[in-house]
Amino acid sequence: LSRLFAEHDFLAIPVIDAERHVKGIVTVDDIVDVVQEEATEDIQKIGGMEALDAPYLEIGFASMVRKRAGWLAILFVGEMLTATAMGFYEREIARAVVLALFVPLIISSGGNSGSQASTLVVRALALGEVKLRDWWRVVRREIGAGLWLGAILASIGLARILVWQLLFHTYGDHYVPIALTVAASLIGVVMWGTIAGSMLPLVLRRIGFDPASASAPFVATLVDVSGLVIYFSVASLILRGTLL
Amino acid sequence: LSRLFAEHDFLAIPVIDAERHVKGIVTVDDIVDVVQEEATEDIQKIGGMEALDAPYLEIGFASMVRKRAGWLAILFVGEMLTATAMGFYEREIARAVVLALFVPLIISSGGNSGSQASTLVVRALALGEVKLRDWWRVVRREIGAGLWLGAILASIGLARILVWQLLFHTYGDHYVPIALTVAASLIGVVMWGTIAGSMLPLVLRRIGFDPASASAPFVATLVDVSGLVIYFSVASLILRGTLL
């Protein structure tokens, strides 16, 4: 209904029953309230919680904590998979502790690029700018964007490792393969972040869920787990024979 | 102006010049458009990028990448501090690799609780539900919420470590201090996340920036870096003499 108003600049829409009797009128000021409420709900879901349905300072403390605890606990259980995933690579970490240092940097880059992508698609879906049938156009855009964004972060990462190596000799003799591992992982993780982040809202809508549940923290958690696998796989490939 | 409409249910507001001549009329349907646009801008900022100012599928590829790359690069540079922070604890990690396994789990929990808090406060500020002078009420609420949410996650984390220990003997003889380290860090990191996440938008507004820049990824990055320091400090305290 609010989309009707937005698209046609109507001031009021009559509501009629089956016999075409007017049952009431929806005016634009009702719609302003609804639009604000819907945006608030979407924003809170994007922030990774249930919609509060009440102003922040007025909602009861217990019900606010409940509405935040649910998603937080789900995300926590999902994020536990990172401990499992890292457990698989415990031997590699023990051999090359330097690998562990870059874990937060790399997985968070995937989470950040994924948050951007999911937020864009969630909002575009809510406004009707993107439909389910546009999924292929979205994927193509996000693969391209991921490649560019990944390359930008990889260059910054490369520069940082080389400068630190030059100044402090931080990364020892194997700094070239380490730098390559970080750069290649960044491109992979950021691309995976943009693809997963943009597709998740579409998948949720397709199976009947609210796309806005593809929150920034949800996407970040998803990409954290898979980002670790990408990172350590790349590391095994590049560092086999030297550090590992 | 849109708040005037929302609060008083006006249908149109005349715009007058200094001599009280009517220059035009702002109707509610203009306002619906503005409200939608403002919400879109806030949502995109909360997702960690500049507002696109154009529909997702219509904006040029290059300008979309530019609007995402800026924040992504800033967050990346900020997140580099995690590599520095972990570098300080390289010796501890080498001695107790098990510590590294929980790094993503613990820092992301802080990031998630911080995203919730900042999103709530950003939206409440935008709607005028929270003013700068309410900061102390907000802090008190968030300290309480952080304590509860942290305790909930800590219990889940404790349960998980104890069950895995029972089933697979995953964590060796020192599983009790390890479990305590994880639980205590979770409470500390989640509380710090809710406090930092809720205060950042208020601080930004106070110094004249847009509170919506306190995006979920921005808060996550901030809490990632400080969360590492909390985690390894707690670990040094509890594990000194056993694992470290």
CB distance A129–B57 less than 8 Å? yes
pLDDT range class, residue B169, cuts 50, 70, 90:
confident
pLDDT of residue A241: 78
DSSP string, A28-63: HHHHHHHHHHHHHHHHHHHTTS----S-TTTS-HHH
Q: Is the pLDDT of residue A12 over 80?
A: no
pLDDT range class, residue A10, cuts 50, 70, 90:
low
Element (H, E) at B32: helix B28-46
What's the whole-number mean pLDDT along residues B36-65?
91
What phi, psi does B16 have (nearest 5°)? -120, 155
CB distance A127–B102 less than 8 Å? no
CB distance B5–A29 less than 8 Å? yes
Q: Give B-chain residues touching A46 at CB under 8 angstroms.
A: 43, 46-47, 119, 216
Chain B residue nearest residue A160, CA to CA? B80
Q: Give B-chain residues touching A36 at CB under 8 angstroms.
A: 6, 35, 39, 127
Q: Give A-chain residues touching B133 at CB under 8 angstroms.
A: none
Cβ atoms within 10 Å, residue B36: 22
CB distance A86–B104 less than 8 Å? yes
Task: Give the pLDDT confidence of B5-45 residue by residue, as tens digits.
Answer: 566 666 666 667 777 777 777 666 777 788 888 889 988 99
Interface test with B, best of A8, A67, A68, A171 (most B CBs within 10 A): A68
Minimal Cβ distance to B160: which of A61, A80, A94: A80
Chain A residue nearest residue B170, CA to CA? A87
Domain boundaries, chain B: 2-46, 96-239
The ipTM of this complex is 0.86
With CA atoms as reference, report the closest residue to A50 among A65, A34, A35. Answer: A65
Do residues B200 and B32 touch, judged by C-beta distance below 8 A? no
Cβ atoms within 10 Å, residue A173: 10
What's the whole-number mean pLDDT along residues A43-72?
92
Nearest-neighbour CA in chain B from A74: distance (Å): 10
pLDDT of residue A188: 96
Chain A residue nearest residue B27, CA to CA? A11
Q: Give A-chain residues touching B111 at CB under 8 angstroms.
A: 108, 217, 220
pLDDT of residue A151: 97
For the domain covering B96-239, report its CATH number. Answer: 1.10.357.20
Give me A20's structure tokens.
Answer: 């075409």
- CA distances from residue A185 to A47, A78, A156, B143 in whole angstroms, order as listed: 27, 22, 13, 37
Do residues B183 and B124 touch, judged by C-beta distance below 8 A? no
Interface test with B, best of A50, A108, A148 (most B CBs within 10 A): A108
Q: Is the pLDDT of residue A91 over 80?
A: yes
The Cα B86–Cα B155 span in angstroms is 26
Give me A204's structure tokens.
Answer: 């949720």
Task: Give the pLDDT confidence of A189-200 residue by residue, as tens digits.
Answer: 999 999 999 999
What's the whole-number mean pLDDT along residues B239-243?
81
Superfamily name and number for A90-239: SLC41 divalent cation transporters, integral membrane domain (1.10.357.20)
CB distance A28–B11 less than 8 Å? yes
Minimal Cβ distance to A149: which of B65, B104, B119: B65
Instruction: Encode burial over B130-140: b for 16+ CB neighbours within 10 A, e otherwise.
Output: beeebbeebee
Minimal Cβ distance to B36: which of A29, A35, A116: A35
What phi, psi does A156 have (nearest 5°)? -60, -45
The Cα B244–Cα B177 span in angstroms is 11
CB distance A29–B28 less than 8 Å? yes
CA pseudo-torsion sign A177, A178, A183, A186: positive
CB distance B221–A112 less than 8 Å? yes
Chain B residue nearest residue A85, CA to CA? B101
Return the SS3 of B133.
Answer: helix
What's the whole-number mean pLDDT along residues B136-161?
96
- CA distances from residue B186 to B58, B89, B120, B234 in whole angstroms, order as listed: 43, 18, 21, 10
Chain B residue nearest residue A60, CA to CA? B141
pLDDT of residue B64: 94
